[in-house]
């Protein structure tokens, strides 16, 4: 990060004196731009900043910076779909930085060594109720506690974590990792009130003297579709299956089980069934592979484990010995259309994974709260509902439904709730310009392929729920962090100082960047053209 010396700030008009060289038409200014990974992160992490610390071996400092935005890095290093990585400029050169693997490495070390979360602000005496102990609720509670508020999180389940616990299988997220990170939040000061379902929100708010409420109840209810079934016991919803397995149960649905759906929940259900003894799980989806909403890497992992797929297929009826399926075709807009061609598939059970929604009906009695037909709650730009002081986020509002997006909602909500309690309005600071790969100058660039995380072989990992993907060792994580190009942010490589023909650039000390002596600078732009990460901007001289 560049820091300008106050005596050398370019905001002061220091045009060259006579005899000091030509009068400039433009001057170089050190400035922090926006790396694409930061912009793409739904949790709002300052990815480049903590990667830079990790690259220098300052792992605890990197983790402490990371958790200022996201209190669950060991979880996210496993379950986040890392949209930061497709956005990474290095992906256009050879391969993106494995950001999630470095985050997991930092998070795992923090879990192992029991690093406490950095202290927040002093208590301010204001009380906030959070409904839901999933990622959005835990994130909001953490950020509110950092701002000095007293937080209680109520959840109907006996254990915290929401869909992280009850929807994500243990082969992707080991439960001891989740327990450790939730436990750290409790030690930070969040009061978790578990096994208590709130049915009257206004009464709960008044009884606890809460000045504000954040609703983060998640989407724990499977959507239902009308499928004729002569034997209803053949039909099971995917969320119930995953929740039962998370609770330690081992439901037996038979050897031939069909999963109906094309999202990540369908894949989780099919892979779970394989571990429960289903030798031939089959996923039916009404569109083709290219239109499947599930992430491609999860589809590949499911195939590695023996899960089969049948595309362009829609269930018409479930009977005692299987189901009737109609073949579909896609129209010009990619929407499935029936063909009338039917076939029979033998199956012992059918698992429905066709979407999920929130149990929001209990909010209908709260004046001002508007619930949509899909069960979500309408909120304003500040995430407040139509009822003053009651905010909502995560899966309860429309938008992306991922753990990382929910954590981002929690952080945003905390800032708006804090401002509302103080009689103010929160406005996010404007983003600086984003740096593209074409803006970089990479004279020192050399190929360094992405680190590969070890993975259990597909034919051996379905015997139990052991974690499929392993992490990087600390040295591997340092090496991976060093692959970051530091797009738009100075990392003090000294190239600008060495390139300047007028010796106008001075280093201000570790972590403080560089200053420009504008009495020497001619505005030749050599520093700008040699900066590998585009941390220098040329601006016109004031007239």
* Pair 491, 2: CB distance under 8 Å: no
Do 171 and 216 have their domain in common?
yes
Does residue 433 fall inside a structural domain?
no
Q: How would you write the pLDDT of the chain (543 residues) with one tens digit per residue?
A: 333 333 333 333 333 343 344 578 899 999 999 999 999 999 999 999 999 999 999 999 999 999 999 999 999 999 999 999 999 999 998 899 999 999 999 999 999 999 999 999 999 989 999 999 999 999 999 999 999 999 999 999 999 999 999 999 999 999 999 999 999 999 999 999 999 999 999 999 999 999 999 999 987 777 777 777 766 557 899 999 999 999 999 998 989 999 999 999 999 999 999 999 998 899 999 999 999 999 999 999 999 999 999 999 999 988 888 899 999 999 988 899 999 999 999 999 999 998 887 888 889 999 999 998 888 999 999 999 999 999 999 989 977 789 999 999 999 999 999 999 999 999 999 999 999 999 999 876 667 889 999 999 988 999 899 999 999 999 999 999 999 999 999 999 999 999 999 999 999 998 899 999 999 999 999 999 999 999 999 999 877
Do 383 and 294 have their domain in common?
no
Does residue 452 fall inside a structural domain?
yes
Does residue 337 fall inside a structural domain?
yes
Task: Give me the DSSP letters along 258-310.
Answer: EEE--SHHHHHHHHHHHHTT-SS-EEE-SS-GGG--S-HHHHHHHHHTT-EEE
Give me the number of domains the chain comprises. 4
Does residue 435 fall inside a structural domain?
no
For 163, residues 6+ apart whose C-beta sits below 8 A from its C-beta are 134, 135, 218, 219, 220, 395, 403
Do 291 and 326 have their domain in common?
yes
What per-residue confidence (pLDDT) applies to 230?
Answer: 66
For 530, residues 6+ apart whose C-beta sits below 8 A from its C-beta are 441, 443, 495, 496, 499
Q: Which secondary structure element, helix H or strand E, spans residue 211, and what is its range? A: none
Q: 308-310 and 336-346: which strand pairing?
A: unpaired
262 to 234, 266, 446: CA distances (angstroms): 20, 6, 40
Do 237 and 331 have their domain in common?
yes
Q: C-alpha angle with apex 299: 295 to 303, nearest 5 degrees?
A: 170
Do 68 and 13 have their domain in common?
no
What per-residue confidence (pLDDT) applies to 59?
Answer: 97
Location of structure tokens 């081992």 = 250
Does residue 1 fall inside a structural domain?
no
Do 333 and 245 have their domain in common?
yes
* Pair 166, 248: CB distance under 8 Å: no
* Pair 86, 450: CB distance under 8 Å: no
Does residue 436 fall inside a structural domain?
no
Q: Residue 338: give the domain boundaries.
A: 223-354
Do 216 and 236 have their domain in common?
no
Residue 341 three-state SS: strand
């Amino acid at each position: 990060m560049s820091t300008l010396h106050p005596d050398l700030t370019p905001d002061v008009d220091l045009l060259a004196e006579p005899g000091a060289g030509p009068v400039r038409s433009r001057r170089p200014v050190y400035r922090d731009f926006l790396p694409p990974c930061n912009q793409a992160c739904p949790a709002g992490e300052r990815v480049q900043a903590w990667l830079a610390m990790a690259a220098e071996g300052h792992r605890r400092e990197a983790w402490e910076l990371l958790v200022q935005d996201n209190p669950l890095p060991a979880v996210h290093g496993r379950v986040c779909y890392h949209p930061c990585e497709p956005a990474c400029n290095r992906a256009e050169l050879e391969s993106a930085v494995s950001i999630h693997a470095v985050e997991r490495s930092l998070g795992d070390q923090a879990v192992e060594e029991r690093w406490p979360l950095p202290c927040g602000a002093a208590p301010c005496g204001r009380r906030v109720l959070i409904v839901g102990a999933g990622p959005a609720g835990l994130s909001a509670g953490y950020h509110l506690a950092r701002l000095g508020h007293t937080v209680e999180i109520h959840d109907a389940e006996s254990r915290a974590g929401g869909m992280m616990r009850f929807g994500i299988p243990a082969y992707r997220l080991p439960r001891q990792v989740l327990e450790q990170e939730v436990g750290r939040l409790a030690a930070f000061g969040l009061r978790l009130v578990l096994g208590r379902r709130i049915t009257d929100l206004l009464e709960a708010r008044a009884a606890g003297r809460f000045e504000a409420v954040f609703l983060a109840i998640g989407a724990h209810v499977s959507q239902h579709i009308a499928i004729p079934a002569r034997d209803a016991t053949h039909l099971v919803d995917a969320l119930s299956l995953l929740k039962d397995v998370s609770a330690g149960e081992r439901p037996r649905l038979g050897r031939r089980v069909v999963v109906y759906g094309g999202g990540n929940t369908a894949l989780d259900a099919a892979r779970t069934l394989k571990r429960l003894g289903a030798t031939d799980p089959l996923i039916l989806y009404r569109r083709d592979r290219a239109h499947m909403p599930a992430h491609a890497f999860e589809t590949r992992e499911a195939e590695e484990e023996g899960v089969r797929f049948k595309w362009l297929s829609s269930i018409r009826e479930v009977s005692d010995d299987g189901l009737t399926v109609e073949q579909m075709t896609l129209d010009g807009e990619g929407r499935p259309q029936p063909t009338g061609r039917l076939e029979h598939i033998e199956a012992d059970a059918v698992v429905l994974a066709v979407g999920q929604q929130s149990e929001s009906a209990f909010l209908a009695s709260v004046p001002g709260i508007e619930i949509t037909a899909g069960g979500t709650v309408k909120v304003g730009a500040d995430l407040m509902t139509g009822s003053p002081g009651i905010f909502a986020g995560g899966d309860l509002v429309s938008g992306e439904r991922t753990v990382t997006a929910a954590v981002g909602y929690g952080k945003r909500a905390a800032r708006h709730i804090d401002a509302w309690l103080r009689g103010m309005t929160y406005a996010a600071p404007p983003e600086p310009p984003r740096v593209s790969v074409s803006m970089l100058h990479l004279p020192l660039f050399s190929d360094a392929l992405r680190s590969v995380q070890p993975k259990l072989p597909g034919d051996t990992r379905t015997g139990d729920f052991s974690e499929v993907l392993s992490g990087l060792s600390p040295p591997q994580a340092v090496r991976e962090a060093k692959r970051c190009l530091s797009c738009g942010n100075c990392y003090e490589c000294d190239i600008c100082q060495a390139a300047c023909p007028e010796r106008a650039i001075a280093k201000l000390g570790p972590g403080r960047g560089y200053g420009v002596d504008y009495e020497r600078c001619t505005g030749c732009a050599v520093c700008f053209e040699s900066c590998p990460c585009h941390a220098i901007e040329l601006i016109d001289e004031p007239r």
